[in-house]
Amino acid sequence: MTKYIHMGSLGRPHGISGEIVLDWYGVSPFSLQLTLWLVVGQSEPRAIAIETMRRHNGRLLIRLCGITSREAAAALKGAKLYTLRSDLPEPEEGEAYISDLLGADVFLPNGTRLGCFSHLVQGACVWSISCDDGREILFPADPSFIRVLDPKAQRIVIDPPQGLLELYSKE
């Protein structure tokens, strides 16, 4: 289990006063009020606070304390926001934090190993599954297609929508 949970990634700047587009992965907006930790590239996490937040054209725009210009916001593009795992509630039965599932083996209901959960596609509720033969499968992570999430065993069982796997079959 990791100490930090990746909650969102910073996108492009918006306007000239330091606002930044935020791709937020947290389900609950209360987590935006927690202490956030900013990681730029390979830097060590540093505590940072959100000064303002608003929705614009379906996107979340934030201004971080101390970021007051477009140039300063642009320098943070691609940076990640984390929160301490200890600040978040424990997942409910059948739920898990994505960070606990990364690298987990992904199986089909019949027991066939499909590959491993590689990463979450940014800005979408889509998982990238890396297959042993080098293929990447983009899986819509809708709860109706997920049968088992077992972070302790690093095991996920999915039942993909009809026709999805055929899209990725080698010919």
pLDDT, tens digit, 9 for 90 and up, residues 9-66:
899 999 999 999 998 776 666 666 778 999 999 999 999 999 998 988 878 899 999 9
pLDDT, tens digit, 9 for 90 and up, residues 33-43:
778 999 999 99
pLDDT, tens digit, 9 for 90 and up, residues 110-168:
999 999 999 888 656 889 999 988 899 999 988 899 999 999 999 999 999 999 988 88
Which of 87, 115, 149 is where one domain is finished? Answer: 87
**Shared-domain flag, residues 147 and 113:** yes
In a domain, 170, yes or no: no
- Domain membership of residue 111 as a residue range: 98-160
Q: Which helix or strand (DSSP H or E) is residue 73 part of?
A: helix 70-74
In a domain, 60, yes or no: yes
In a domain, 53, yes or no: yes
Q: How far apart are CA 90 and CA 92, in angstroms?
A: 6
| CATH for 47 | 2.40.30.60
**Shared-domain flag, residues 81 and 21:** yes
Q: How far apart are CA 32 and CA 53, in angstroms?
A: 9
pTM reported for the whole predicted model? 0.71
Residue 75 has pLDDT above 80, yes or no: yes
Bridge partners of residue 38, in order along the sequence: 46, 81
pLDDT for 124 equals: 63
In a domain, 58, yes or no: yes
Count of domains observed in the chain: 2
**Shared-domain flag, residues 80 and 111:** no
In a domain, 40, yes or no: yes
In a domain, 167, yes or no: no
Radius of gyration, alpha carbons of the chain: 18
In a domain, 70, yes or no: yes
Q: What is the DSSP letter of 34?
A: S
